[in-house]
Chain A
Amino acid sequence: MLLSIQNLEVRYGSNKALSITAPIELEEGDRVGVIGANGAGKTTLVKSILGLVPYEGTIRTELLPEQMAVHMQFNEYTDNMCVKYVMEAILDTDISKNKKLQELIDFFEFGDCLRKKYSKLSGGQKQRFTIIMVMMQDAPLTFYDEVTSGLDFETRQKLVEKLVEWYRGRDAGFFMVSHYYEELDQLADKLLILDKGKVVAYGRRQELFQKYCGRAVIIMDNTPQNEALMKGAERMSSPKHLIAVSCGSEEKEREITRVLLLNDVNYKRSNNDIEMLYINAKEAEAGTRGAAAKNVGTRMAYKEKEAGE
């Protein structure tokens, strides 16, 4: 086990920013996506693991501090010299003599930026600068805290593509905080959902999806026509502009998609959509008796019925 967290509590003054009771364990190579609204405690969790904020409780790890690489939300460096010298000092190497570093610089297309000062880099270049150094650490566990926040869509996508490509075939793990579900869709195999400083759910994406959303979901625009078509279907919680229905079985899924095809409705089918998972897990765990909770109950009953048959 790489890292375990139990009974963790972090306070900022009288405000309890984070309270984790059930154990959270990270195995070697786990790629954990951390999601939650602003103020959910994501960055606080990362900071407490890194020992940057005082906390109560237990955080155990076999890793030394230098075996944990970190890309914080905001990374600043001195502006008194070009970033080449900053990079060489931090990594304690010469770029011209380090093949691995040269490859990384090429991989992230950063070569032309080396002579610039940090403040002269664009948002995407700044993120890539830190990522290169973080990856050079080759740590068994890396923390990424909102790496792509503040970047435009294209830069964000390019950066995530690079990360996906980099991690393909490697056994290094990470702990990635993000507000962008599509990023975690591509990168994370485990999810940690936080809400108001508490853990809503933690586990493998597939398992969590099954638990909170069922076998698959069909998502379409929220229009009066679609509303009428989906009357009687197992509705799930979804953003207001969408309708999401759960497909408890393959048969049910065929039935729904047949109706949608017949009526020429655009839809998306997913068995691992993180946004749906997040919304429905949050509702279910909050016990607000919302649609998700009802649907989970229905699905459980359905599954039990299936199992009984």
Chain B
Amino acid sequence: MKGRRKLFSRRMLLFEFRNVIGNPYVHIFGVGMPILMMVIITRAVLGEIAETEMLATVTTSVFLGIGAMIPMATIFMGYGIAHAQELEKGIPQRMELFGIGIKMSLCSRILSEVIFMVLAFCVYFAAGYALADVKSPAGWGLAIYVVCILTLSVILFCLAHAIASMLRKFSLVYCVTMLIYFGMMILGGMMGISFDNMPSAMQAAAKLLPVTYINRDFAAIWVGESYNFMPMVQSYLLLGAVAGILLFFTVKRDSRKLH
């Protein structure tokens, strides 16, 4: 009889990574879709903007903004739906009965999701620099983008886990995450309406979302221009707090109560 298992193991990480790449949704919506959208939108603005410098800025802005779709699709939608399917089948409980608790699963899963997302970003960046006129980043600009995307990914992971654990049914989770996904894309300005053209009520809601700042403002941060990070940090804190509270509530509620 083996003792209590470690929180993290190479095999669990491999297992969860295989789980991630075995989900076709993440390849379609997390890798293919952002590249396609980035190419279509950047080509669409080509004809509308004559100035080269302006065109490169807009292209970079579109490129960086659409990049935020990757964690939203692979982690928020992909993981949320996959976890709901697993919950419906009772897989997490089965794993727990084998001594693989929720904390152990979450640790390996979140790392796997991040690894997949990094790979997806590599493909996205390769496509971006090959097919669109994206500006080269300043060192800090790139570092901040990476931190912002990683932080957003962790928050979205917690949110997806909490939503799936609360609703438990695949159809419901699919519906709710899809609504939030498109809601974030619309409010974030990725669906054609820029922040400045939104009605004030929409703007108020958009300000609460990190994706708005990534899509609207990152072109400037990317090239090292000065930027007031406070509103963006506040949006991260708010979304992080919501996700954290929901995650804590669901993990606590679902934990196995043993004598």
Contacts and interface: CB of A to CB of B under 8 A. Distances in A.
Interface of A: 50-52, 54, 58-61, 64-67, 70, 72, 74-81, 85-86, 88-90, 92-93, 133, 137-140
Contacts of A138: 1-2
B113 to A, nearest CB: 13
Interface of B: 1-5, 9, 11-12, 14-15, 18-19, 21-23, 86, 89-91, 93-95, 97-100, 256-259
26 contacts: A50-B97, A51-B257, A54-B257, A59-B259, A66-B2, A66-B4, A66-B99, A72-B90, A72-B97, A75-B94, A76-B89, A76-B90, A76-B91, A77-B91, A77-B94, A78-B22, A80-B18, A80-B21, A89-B11, A89-B15, A90-B95, A92-B9, A137-B1, A137-B2, A137-B98, A138-B2
Contacts of A92: 2, 5, 9, 11-12
Closest 8 CB pairs of A and B: A80-B22, A89-B15, A76-B89, A51-B258, A66-B99, A81-B18, A70-B97, A51-B256
A79 B89 CA distance: 11
Contacts of B95: 90
Given A60-B259, A66-B4, A133 B91 contact: no
Contacts of A70: 97
With a 10 A CB-CB cut-off, give which of B14, B21, B258 has the most chain A CB atoms. B258
A81 B22 CA distance: 7
A65 B94 contact: no
Contacts of B89: 76
A227 B93 CA distance: 52
A52 B93 contact: yes
Contacts of B1: 66-67, 137-140
A271 B155 CA distance: 64
A238 to B, nearest CB: 38
Nearest to B22: A80
